[in-house]
Amino acid sequence: MSESPPLEFRGGSVGALLPLVAFLAGVGTLGLAGAPDERGFWPVLLGCLAMGLLLARDSTAYAEAVLRGMSRPIVMLMILAWLLAGVLGALIQQSGFVDSLVGVAARAGVSGGGFVVTSFLIAAAVSTSTGTSLGTLIICVPLLYPASGSLGADPVWLIGAILAGATFGDNISPVSDTTVASATTQEADIGGVVRSRLRYALPAAAAAAVVYALVGAHVSQGVAGAGERGAAPSLLPLVMMAPPALTIACLLRRAHLVTSLMFGILSALVIGLLAGLFSPADLLHLDRESFVATGIVLEGMERGVGISVFTLLLMGLVGGLEATGLMDRFLERAERGARTPARAEWSIFGAISAAVMLTTHSVVAILAVGPLARDIGPEHGISRYRRANILDVSVCTYPFLLPFFIPTILAASLTASGAEAGVPRVSALDAGLANLHSWGLLIVLLMALATGRGRSAG
């Protein structure tokens, strides 16, 4: 995975894996202990990077590998997206949009589990249309999550449902990067891949929707919470639906994520100021006596700091691990173990699972394992659609379930948008556990592998 000679560690492969194992253990422990936000993971990542430096036989080469991992364009894209998304979310919330949404939903009788299911379907529609799970979270969480308290929806199940909807589109959208990567690596047409993938995605989505409807209501708070706010809120703030809609429209036209978010911010500024939902002084205020600046824009950008630093440190850790060449050696062993059709499928599944764990990036994992699946699949009668589905369905489970991947961390980070509405933050662990669609995908995939059903068709 690197053109440079493999980086060597004291203790061999065990030493190379120790920083990653320490990271998984540390984040898992903090997650179980109820780590309040992604900032709590910073010290763990710093400690793991220090461990890598001590274990590497060439600390300079390790440091350079870490910096290469941090400086990838995709990392810079994510960080800028987090910052811009924070600004867009802050503008929408400052406008009073949440109160208006609560009023409309209450009048329509949408509450509790019904609101959770509705949020799941909205996120699924956005992600399927745009093909981006992270973009869906950025758009949908600040819009929907703060309303959970007043509409009697359980915050944990609600963020899990939004994350599930984001997963759905990432898995089946024909414009999703994982769909394109899984299809092209197996030399399969995207249309056929999407059609065959529905047999995995639709049962999982249907089961998730039913469970969300049953368990999504908050046991101690119903829609009465909306009435406690007093008079019916103004519907004027609902005009702030336009900026997210513009962002989605730009994404549908295949505009860059940064471009789409920037247009969304600019439209939110114009609409909010013209409608009188906030003033120029609300956007940026200079306190000359205290020598500080405050305002919506700064507050929004600060929301993206936690996930941005986490992303930098995590991708640095991944960069150091990739430089060891462990993935290449693992793929060679997986190929040697594929002696029967069933073992070949399990080898592909095991390889993609290991790859996404080691790289923490779905597309990178698919591109790494794709050649293995393409080589061993045909000789065992495994169709190209089936191989593409094993790759894609696998990477739409772990990153959306486990608390040390960017999608779950981002979803948890964005729950800070509920603070002004009195809705508590949710940990990455809880958000992933409540993503019923990914759990359903994993179960459906394991059943297909265990039975061999659909091996030759997809």
pLDDT in 10s for each residue of the chain, 458 residues? 445 688 999 999 899 999 999 998 988 888 777 665 678 889 999 999 999 999 999 999 999 999 999 998 888 888 888 888 889 888 988 888 878 888 888 888 888 999 999 999 999 999 998 888 998 999 899 989 999 988 999 999 999 999 999 999 999 998 888 998 999 999 999 899 999 999 999 999 999 999 999 998 875 544 444 444 445 667 888 898 899 889 888 887 878 888 988 999 999 999 999 999 999 989 988 877 777 788 999 988 988 888 889 889 998 998 998 899 887 787 888 777 778 999 999 999 999 999 998 888 898 889 889 989 998 988 889 999 999 999 999 999 999 999 989 999 999 999 988 988 889 999 999 999 999 999 999 999 999 999 988 787 77
| Burial of 230 from C-beta contacts in 10 A (0-12 / 13-18 / 19+) | exposed
Identify the bridge partners of residue 293 per DSSP, sorted by sequence position: 286
Compute CA distances 85 → 92, 247, 346, whole Å. 11, 11, 39
User: Considering its fold, how many domains does the chain have in total?
Assistant: 1
Domain span at residue 216 reads 74-306
Sign of CA dihedral 449, 453, 457, 458: negative
Task: Read off the DSSP letter of residue 41.
Answer: G
Is 391 part of any domain?
no
Residue 232 lies in a domain: yes
> Rounded to 10 degrees, what is the CA torsion of 416, 133, 402, 32?
10
Residue 332 lies in a domain: no
Asked whether 203 and 440 are in contact (CB, 8 A), the reply is yes
Answer yes or no: is 317 within a domain.
Answer: no
Give the sign of the dihedral formed by CA 69, CA 73, CA 76, CA 82. Answer: negative
Long-range contacts at 293-302 (CB < 8 A, ≥ 24 apart) = 296/87, 296/90, 296/91, 296/94, 297/87, 297/90, 299/86, 299/90, 300/86, 300/87, 300/88, 300/89, 300/90, 300/91, 301/83, 301/86, 301/87, 302/86
For residue 240, the 8-state DSSP code is G
Q: Does residue 419 sit within a domain?
A: no
Contact 263, 250 (CB under 8 A): yes
Residue 373 lies in a domain: no
Query: What's the CA gap between 121 and 228, in Å, rounded?
Result: 28
Identify whether 176 is part of a domain: yes
Does residue 143 fall inside a structural domain?
Answer: yes
